[in-house]
Amino acid sequence: PAPPPSVQAFAEINSDENLVFDGVLYQRGAVAEVGAALSPCLPGGGHRTAGTEGLVLRVRGDGKPYTVVVRTAGGDGGGGAAYAARFPTRAGYQHVRLPWSAFRAERDGSPALDPAAVVYLGLRYEFRRGGGASATERGGGGVPLSPAELEQ
């Protein structure tokens, strides 16, 4: 039989118009990420991220750390770059403020983050060593991801 997948995760928009991210990670180093492309312009025509100081999220946390990932459009030189900012959560709803200066390039040599170039926004959970419950502590099961909701 095939080994179980290292990640079983899903995302859906619930009846309250919230993005619900839920699943189980089965091994250290496993990553679950959900995200979507962003239109650069708001419905009224204004730019979505240019001239802003950062992101403000309303999340329902579970006491685990999460990472917001943004990706930029490729310029004349080719592909874009990915940037990440980690934040802790606590049980219940909270506002998370992430200034653009909190985002770090995921690859060395990437240019500084240009908020006007952001074309993707994602939420990531990583099963890191020493964080959360290990698969061993859970009797060979996985590390459950309680729902983390982003209010739209």
Instruction: Transcribe 73-118 into DSSP letters.
Output: ---TTS---EEEEEE---SEEEEEEEEGGG-EESSTTPPPP-GGGE
Dist. CA 107–CA 82, nearest whole Å: 8
Task: Look at residue 147 in the predicted model and tell me its pLDDT.
Answer: 42
Neighbours of 139 (CB within 10 A): 6
Task: Look at residue 129 in the predicted model and tell me its pLDDT.
Answer: 61
Contact 127, 30 (CB under 8 A): yes
Dist. CA 97–CA 28, nearest whole Å: 28
Q: What are phi and psi of 116, to 5 degrees?
A: -70, -15
Provide the whole-model pTM: 0.74
Residues of the chain with pLDDT under 70: 1-7, 75-78, 129-152
Task: Look at residue 24 in the predicted model and tell me its pLDDT.
Answer: 76
Task: Look at residue 1 in the predicted model and tell me its pLDDT.
Answer: 62
Q: What are phi and psi of 84, to 5 degrees?
A: -135, 150
Helix (H) or strand (E) holding 124: strand 118-126
Task: Look at residue 62 in the predicted model and tell me its pLDDT.
Answer: 86
Neighbours of 24 (CB within 10 A): 20
Dist. CA 5–CA 49, nearest whole Å: 36
